[in-house]
Structure formats: C-alpha cells, structure tokens
Amino acid sequence: MANSNYEHGTSNIEIGQRFPLTIKRLGINGEGIGYYKHTVVFVQGALPDEVVVAEVVATAPHFITAKIHKIRQQSPARVTPRDEQYGDVGGIELEHLAYPEQLKFKADVIQQALEKFKPQGYKNYDIRPTIGMADPYEYRNKAQFQVRQINGHVAAGLYRKNSHDLVDLPTFSTQRPAIMSTMRYLVNLIEQLAIPVYDETAKSGIIKTIAIRESITTGHLQVTLITNTPKLPKKHALLTAIAADLPEVTSVMQNINPGETSLIWGEETRRLAGDTYLTETINGYTFKLSARAFFQLNPKQTEKLYQLAEQALNLSQHETLIDAYCGVGTLGISLAHTASEVRGMDTIPEAIADAKENAELNQVTNVHYEVGKAEELLPQWLREGFEPDALIVDPPRTGLDNQLRQTILDSRPEKFVYISCNPSTLARDLVSLVKDYRVDYIQSIDMFPQTARVEAVVKFSKRQLYR
C-alpha cells in the first residue's frame, strides 16, 4: 500500500489547497521538505522544525510544490533577510537561515547526495564541517544583470524565478558595493542618453546585459556592455561620462550577442576604452582576467580553497601534477611551487592562452598548458611517457566526463584530489572512483553564502590492488 500512496498521493490534491505541515529537513536546493499523506512536499522558504500552513502551487505524480501561507511555529534559526527582493530572485535563497545553520546544511547536502548514490563505504566517510566566512555578504566580485525597460525606465537586475520578468536590483547584499553603485550609475546614464535597451518581445534594442567585475586587490572595475548589435549609439558620450565620473573603471568592453539566445555572452568582444583585462592576486600570484575569463566569484574563499587543495595533494618537489579543467591556470600556477611539473588542459583556446600568459606573468616556468579534453590528452601524455604522480580535477557542475572517469581509473595516479561544486555529481562520480581510491575526507567550503550551493575538496588515497 505504501507504494500506491506515492503513486496516487497527489491525485486528490488541488492547486490552492492548504494544509498544516511539519518541516523535517532542507532539500538540496534549500527548500523545506515535509510529508502530507505519505507524499513529499517541497516548500520554498520553510525551515526544519517549523510548522507551516502550506499552499499547493503545483503537483506532480510523486511530489507537491507549495508555498508558505502562514508560519504557525517558527524555527529559532529563522532570521530576517537583508534583501527586499528575497524570494523573488535566485542567489539569496538561504538568506532567511542563520549563517551557522547554513554551514551545517551545506555539510548535510553532501551527506544527502551520498545517501542517494551510495558509493562504497559512504557511511564512514569523514565529512568535515563547512568552512565559512567571517562576513558572509558583499563577496561576489562579478555581476551579470539583464537590462530592460520597466514602466518606461531602464532597469538592471535578475529574472524572477521561473520567468523572464525582470526584477530591478538597486541593491543586492551579496554583491560588492562598488559593483552595485557602478551598475546604478550606468543604468541612469543609459536612460539619460536614451540608448535603446533590448526588448525581448520585439526582439529589438541594443543593450542586453551589463557585466561588471571588480578586482579585490586593485579596486579596479571592468565594465562589459553585452549588446544585440555591433552598433552602440552614443558611444562617445557614454565613454566620456564613465571616464569623468568613474575613475575606478579601468576597462570598458563590448560583447556582441545578437538575437534571441539563452546564452549571456556572444563570441566577439571588443575593447571600447582602457585595458582589455583586470588583474587579481590570489595567494601571492597575480592573474590577468579578460572579460569572458572564468574566475571564482569569491576571491577570499578562493584563497582558502587553493590552500585546502595544496594540503590535500601534499606534493613533493619531485612529483608531477595534472590540472584537469585548468581554465586560466589559477589553480595550477598556485600549486606549481610544490611540484616538479604541472600540466593543464582546457577545451577553451582563450583560457589556455590566458593560462600561458599568467604563467609568464608570475615567472612560473614548470607549467605546460594545452588545448584539449582531459580524457583525450591524458592518455596521449601517458603514451608519450609522461606519468603523473598526482591529479587534481575541478569540473563544472556536470561533474566528470564518463571517459575521464575511466581514464583516471586506468592511469591510477598515486595522489588524487577532486574539487566539486555539485554534491550530486560528486556522489555519482564516487560510485566508480572508490573502486580504486579510498575517500580520506570531504572538506566543504562555503564559496556562496546565502545560497544552497557548496564547494568541496575530496582527498583520495589509492587502494592497493591485488590481482
């Protein structure tokens, strides 16, 4: 009978229906989870141990999505969000939860993922408490805000959840203050100069998105206007005003992304004024960041992350390291002083060009970078006689490529560290990796306070195979 409850539990439940619900825990996206008539209910904004009146907003065969109609019994961990737009946009979905509890939740998310995928020995893994920030606000060094017209005025912000309705963001507590003040200046300037902004319905207009990155080291800002056409009306007046009023903006770029697309960035980027890059310093190493270059959004925690990676690898001066998914070389260059040689690869040619330039900038000579996939270059290097002593992987949210997982198991480097930004794909990858490697520990670190996202460093030890 239990199964039939799950299969048919939502058939008599209607949208708009209300019922009392006790919240048992938080799900992987930070939503409250309770059970009504043996059916799981997801309630955005609800916290464990709260009793709420839930109002159904959607049903599916195996679960219900609801919102809070009323809180009858409030959690002592509930706090007042700083942002007026809390609940409307992403990026601050845990702002109602006290920060120490956010950190506990992030370790629990890793545990939940392991319980779902059940890699060998997962019940005995050493899952360490999440490393947080002293001040978990104003940490994001980059903003990408959509630009539209709302009620006849230019607005910049993020889309309302599950929609294309823009929410104007005059302030946003996780962004660096200089980025937000520059964003508002540009919004006002675009309106004063009457530069056409993009209209999704008419598929016309010029400015689609404003991207601003700040260097925490120098205080300099890079502004990129992402436009629908190469043409940028009032360009001279725009640049003149920025030069006069925003001396901290040392780079102004234009990225051209024509037409209707879900991608924020287009292929072509042009320099409008100033430098083509910013510089940022991490653990004593300086990196050039072009407009489209990937760089961690939380520089303070990135320093800690790279220190954790170095400790986990524990390299000797004679050992060689492969840095898969190397990007612009920030991690590999930071680790190069601990190894005899570091080899990195990435599929994006511009990233490899930046990595080579960054190595030169830091006078690091024992690194080698190539364009290509790790699962193709690693076997090629092995055939050429290069045997890595250690491997570090920092994949995107999709986790490791199937072929790369197999390549790792075939090459079996002595030391292996996995930096994960998605507990679900990490747990999935562990199912095969633990056949040849033991998990020594999983150290989570909070790179994105006020969100449900968590980063983790996994240290492995190679198992001895007896064949």
Tell me the residue type at 143. A
Q: List the structure tokens of 181.
A: 């003040």
Euclidean distance between CA atoms 304 and 131, whole angstroms = 9
Q: List the structure tokens of 141.
A: 């060094």
Q: Which of 210, 421, 430, 452 is the catalytic position?
A: 421
Euclidean distance between CA atoms 87 and 46, whole angstroms = 11
Report yes or no: 174 and 450 within 8 Å, Cβ to Cβ. yes
Report yes or no: 252 and 301 within 8 Å, Cβ to Cβ. no
202 contact partners, CB below 8 Å, separation of at least 6: none
Tell me the residue type at 4. S
Report yes or no: 279 and 357 within 8 Å, Cβ to Cβ. no
Q: What does each C-alpha distance from 55 to 7, 13, 96, 237, 432 come to in angstroms? A: 21, 11, 19, 51, 41
Euclidean distance between CA atoms 94 and 47, whole angstroms = 10
Q: List the structure tokens of 276.
A: 């083509």
Report yes or no: 414 and 436 within 8 Å, Cβ to Cβ. no
| Listed residue (182, 327, 157) closest to 248, CA to CA | 182
Residues 93-115: b if buried by 16+ CB within 10 A, e if exposed: bbbbbebebbbebbbbbbbbbbe
Question: Does residue 421 have an active-site annotation?
Answer: yes
Tell me the residue type at 32. G
Rg (CA), the chain: 24
Euclidean distance between CA atoms 387 and 322, whole angstroms = 10
Catalytic residues: 421
